[in-house]
């Protein structure tokens, strides 16, 4: 039997900037506030600098959790309630963030002549939005499916 629903696929492109350290960063809005986010396809969860919860109106939730970074560094993290992540006035997803100390990450970026980041966009968001990176056009391509 043929599916009676039609599928609509909207595509959003977000400009990416290569840093001096060859990381990809973009400007996104978290709860309506613009921030500088690093795209990390290897990060399981999206993260936010734990000193920026007030700036982005992110509400901490749950107990402290031990995490391990790609470099095997032990991190303590707190979860958060879901927050709205988007571009300009368009909300793209509501996801929780892991709140971590990003001092070491930002120190390494600044040491290489890069700007500090507010957070990391990880696989939780990237997978949810069927993300792909267009290196030729320097953009992150997101696909949002909706049924109607």
pLDDT digits (tens, 9 = 90+) for 62-106: 877 766 655 556 677 888 999 999 998 788 899 999 999 999 999
Contact present, 119 and 37 (Cβ < 8 Å): yes
The stretch 44-58 carries a mean pLDDT of 96
What range does the domain containing 15 cover? 7-147
Residue 2, domain member (yes or no): no
Task: Give the per-residue pLDDT at 14.
Answer: 94
Neighbours of 119 (CB within 10 A): 26
Say which CATH number the domain at 31 has.
Answer: 2.40.70.10
Two structure tokens written together for 43? 């990060």
Query: In the predicted model, what is the mean pLDDT of the chain?
Result: 87
Two structure tokens written together for 131? 């993300």
Contact present, 98 and 78 (Cβ < 8 Å): yes
Neighbours of 41 (CB within 10 A): 12
Give me the number of domains the chain comprises: 1
Confidence of residue 112 (pLDDT cuts 50, 70, 90): very high
Task: Give the per-residue pLDDT at 66.
Answer: 67
């Amino acid at each position: 039997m043929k599916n009676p629903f039609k599928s609509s696929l909207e595509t959003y492109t977000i400009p990416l900037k290569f840093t001096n350290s060859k990381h990809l960063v973009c400007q996104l809005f978290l709860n309506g506030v613009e921030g500088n986010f690093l795209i990390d396809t290897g990060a399981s969860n999206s993260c936010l600098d734990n000193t920026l919860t007030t700036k982005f109106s992110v509400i901490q939730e749950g107990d402290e959790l031990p995490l391990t970074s790609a470099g095997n560094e032990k991190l303590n993290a707190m979860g958060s309630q879901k927050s709205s992540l988007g571009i300009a006035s368009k909300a793209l997803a509501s996801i929780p963030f892991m709140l971590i100390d990003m001092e070491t990450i930002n120190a390494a970026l600044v040491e290489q002549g890069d700007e500090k980041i507010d957070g990391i966009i990880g696989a939780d968001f990237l997978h949810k939005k069927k993300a792909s990176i267009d290196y030729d056009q320097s953009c992150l391509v997101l696909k949002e499916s909706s049924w109607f």
